[in-house]
Homo-oligomer: A and B are copies of this chain.
Amino acid sequence: MTQINRQILLASRPQGPVTPDNFKLVETPLAPLADGEVRVRNHYLSLDPYMRGRMNDSKSYAVPQPLDEVMIGGTVGEIVESKHPKFAVGEKVVGMFGWQEYGTSNGKGLNKVDDTHVPLSAYLGAVGMTGVTAWYGLNRIIAPKAGETVVVSAASGAVGSVVGQLAKLAGCRAIGIAGGADKCRYVVDSLGFDACVDYKAGNLYQDLKAATPDGVDGYFDNVGGDVLDVTLARMNAFGRIALCGMIAGYDGEPLPMKRPALLLTQRLLVQGFIVSEHMEVWPEALGQLGTLVAQKKLHYRETIADGLENAPEAFMGLLKGKNFGKQLVKLV
């Protein structure tokens, strides 16, 4: 009996906000495994803001997601069939199989993971690309000294939550910016940030000023737009800004930066980055992050959608900030 693989393809590119009809769910029979191949049953799919950028046909930002192909994405799963000498049935692997239930591979790009002390799903979050993104921007761009103030936007999110906790572990004052009282409470009470500013409360500049009496030395930006403008106005001389995401500007018109002259007058460093272009740091970063998670010194939260068919809705929710922590889709 031929097994069926359910897959979600990019059906069309968004004109403005992402809509359900940008996606198409298809059922594809799985071809028999060839020699040297391995088959993975994906347990979790990671949903991440970068996917929104890939949906555009922009020549300048990474590689666009091709139309009518399986949406790109990180996955973690279990090997269910193997004709590859280095992989055995039952082993757990992280890969980039995208939005589908099964993945077939010659082994390239697959990394075995051990879920004895670290939950399998964490390899898509705090101990995966998400965690390394936080680690790279904080350690390699902001490079904070103990006692400095580090601000991170989308602070309750998968990346932001790690940034602030790593900043605290480095002896910094960690300030989050998040949307809503619940998220802010979580950021302070559960993650241990020194303070969190609710941008939805309508008083962002004054609230951020109150939370950063000594100004801001490092800013890890996940959102752009107004939040970036307001934080810029609090930057100290020689501050560093790691630009990781501009979710605020993904849909529709480009958002301006209101006062770029601050970059000059405060002698700021701004560096945009994509973590997949810095593979050299992954082993060191993943080693540290895995240890911290196993020791329960690094906390995270997940929002889990159930079933591949719910991935598009979960992704649209992510772009609107409806998730709380790492957004995953459970595929088994």
Contacts and interface: CB of A to CB of B under 8 A. Distances in A.
Interface residues of A, number: 34
Nearest to A239: B272
B277 A272 contact: no
Interface in A259-275: 259-274
A58 B277 CA distance: 39
A270 B263 contact: yes
Contacts of A258: 254, 256
A285 B274 CA distance: 34
Interface string A233-271: 000010000011110010000111111111111111111
A160 interface: no
A255 B260 CA distance: 7
Contacts of A261: 224, 246, 249, 254-255
B256 A260 contact: yes
Nearest to A260: B257
Given A254-B259, A257-B257, A260-B224, A237 B60 contact: yes
Copy total for this chain: 2
A270 B228 CA distance: 15
B277 A260 contact: no
Interface in A186-237: 224, 228, 237
Nearest to A262: B60
A265 B61 contact: yes
A179 interface: no
Interface string A75-96: 0000000000000000000000
A73 interface: no
A267 B272 contact: yes
A53 interface: yes
Contact of A58 (B60, B265, B267): B265
Nearest to A61: B265
A211 B312 CA distance: 43
A246 B261 CA distance: 7
Contacts of A60: 237, 262, 265-266
A268 B254 CA distance: 17
Contacts of A260: 224, 228, 246, 254-257, 260
A266 B246 CA distance: 13
Interface core residue of A60, A258, A262, A274 (most chain B CB under 10 Å): A60
Among A61, A228, A246, A261, which residue has the most Cβ atoms of chain B within 10 A? A261
A243 to B, nearest CB: 5
Contacts of A268: 270-272
Q: Which 10 A-B pairs have the closest CB atoms?
A: A256-B256, A264-B272, A61-B265, A257-B260, A257-B257, A270-B270, A267-B272, A254-B259, A243-B264, A263-B272
Interface of A: 53, 58, 60-61, 224, 228, 237, 243-246, 249, 254-274, 277
28 contacts: A53-B265, A60-B237, A60-B262, A60-B265, A60-B266, A61-B266, A224-B260, A224-B264, A243-B263, A244-B264, A245-B264, A246-B261, A249-B261, A254-B258, A254-B259, A255-B261, A256-B256, A256-B259, A260-B260, A263-B272, A264-B272, A265-B272, A267-B271, A269-B269, A269-B270, A269-B271, A269-B272, A270-B271
